[in-house]
């Protein structure tokens, strides 16, 4: 993953456009306030299925990125399995950098 991706995710966090933690992410998805969901590659099978079903139902893009430690470090937290981006601009840029 491009280092710019992780830097941009940290910037989005500082801008207040990131939600982390499974329950908070699911709640925000249900409110349809999420533009992009990032899930750690080492998430449990149960979590993967639950999130993949949710984002498919609400038609939200999902990216599988790094591991829980990389995802947490990028947003200045301990390990994180799920992160939701609530701003379309940040979501678009993150998707663009994820493919480089």
- Among the listed residues 34, 95, 91, 40, the one whose alpha carbon sits nearest the alpha carbon of residue 60: 34
Stretch 30-59: mean pLDDT, rounded? 96
Distance CA 71, CA 9 (A): 9
Q: For residue 7, is pLDDT > 80?
A: yes
Q: What is the CATH number of the domain that holds 93?
A: 3.30.1330.30
Number of domains in the chain: 1
Each residue's pLDDT tens digit, 60-79: 999 999 899 999 999 999 99
Residue numbers of the domain that contains 55: 3-98
pLDDT at 2: 85
Confidence of residue 100 (pLDDT cuts 50, 70, 90): low
Residues near 2 by beta carbon (within 8 Å), at least 6 away in sequence: 97, 98, 100
Find the radius of gyration of the CA atoms of the chain.
Answer: 12
Q: For residue 33, is pLDDT > 80?
A: yes
């Amino acid at each position: 993953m491009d280092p710019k991706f992780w830097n941009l995710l940290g910037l989005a966090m500082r801008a207040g456009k990131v939600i982390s933690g499974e329950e908070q992410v699911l709640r925000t998805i249900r409110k349809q306030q999420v533009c992009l969901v990032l899930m750690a590659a080492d998430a449990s099978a149960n979590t993967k299925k639950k999130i993949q079903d949710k984002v498919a139902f609400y038609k939200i893009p999902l990216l599988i990125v790094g591991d829980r430690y990389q995802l947490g470090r990028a947003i200045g937290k301990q390990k994180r399995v799920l992160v939701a981006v609530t701003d379309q601009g940040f979501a678009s840029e993150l998707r663009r950098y994820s493919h480089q």
